[in-house]
Amino acid sequence: MSALRLISNRTSQHALSNSDYTWEYEYYEYGPVSFEGLKAHKYSIVIGFWVGLAVFVIFMFFVLTLLTKTGAPHQDNAEPSEKRFRMNSFVADLGRPLESERVFSRQIAEESQSLFHFCINEVEHLDKAKQSQKGPDLEGTIRFQEGPRNSGMFEEDLNYLTKFNIPNFVNTEQNSSLGEDDFLISEPPIILESKSVTHSSHRILD
């Protein structure tokens, strides 16, 4: 680096004049550095830097882990086929046919967000229909850790979820097909059940 070379040129004038050690590609041209009387270990900057970097990366990891603590989504007990139809038709409503892979990959970005809204809306919609049903109060995250109340229904939900592929933000145990590619890292791996274009009267959420 030229910065290092210019510094060495200056210092070489102060140092022994018959020196020939200002070879710019090797970096021991800083002249004789006295190592007498060092209080700390001579590699202390090296050790300190790497330890600091490791601590920072681990700290960042913990912060990110805390931020990504989510609960697994569970859908109500609607008919799977009806749900699937709704999802397909909802996506189709975006107005673009899913013919080619290229078009497909362009749309999945839009569909991912809209599917999220769709999930939320669908659950809300069904929830309104089933107001009487009272599950555990799930507002506090602490309550998430309480054991399953209705384990039988839970299994049904799990089975249902295998057909309902959503972006991998919220990781479900069965989501093995999406498990490999994280949404944020590759293109959003939306897998639609069918690519046929059907029309329905579902509104497009924005």
Degrees to nearest 5, angle at CA 143 with 139 and 144? 90
Of the candidates 111, 83, 84, 100, the one whose C-alpha atom is nearest the C-alpha of residue 205 is 111
From 159, 177, 186, 194, residue interacting with another protein (rule: CB under 8 A): 186
Sole binder of another protein in the list 55, 97, 159, 187 (CB under 8 A): 187
In whole angstroms, the minimum distance from the beta carbon of 64 to another protein comes to: 4
State yes or no: residue 13 binds another protein (CB under 8 A).
no
Q: Which of 106, 129, 193, 200 binds another protein (CB under 8 A)?
A: 106
Near another protein in 127-156, by CB under 8 A: 127, 133-139, 141, 144-151, 153-154
**Separation of CA 133 from chain center:** 34
Residues whose CB is less than 8 angstroms from the CB of residue 107 and which lie 6 or more positions away in sequence, other chains included: 94, 96, 98
Give the separation between CA 97 and CA 76, rounded to whole angstroms: 29
Q: H-helix or E-strand containing 48?
A: helix 44-67
Show contacts with another protein in window 18-57 (CB under 8 A): 19-28, 30-36, 38, 40, 42-46, 49, 53, 56-57
Number of residues that bind another protein (CB under 8 A): 103
Report how far residue 97's alpha carbon sits from residue 104's, in angstroms, rounded to the nearest whole number.
Answer: 8
- Nearer of residues 8 and 88 to another protein, judged by Cβ: 8
- Touching another protein, residues 58-97 (CB under 8 A): 60-61, 64-65, 67-76, 94
Residue nearer to another protein on the CB measure, 30 or 85: 30
Could you tell me which of 143, 122, 111, 130 has the C-alpha nearest to residue 74?
122
Identify the residue among 83, 89, 157, 174 touching another protein (CB under 8 A).
157
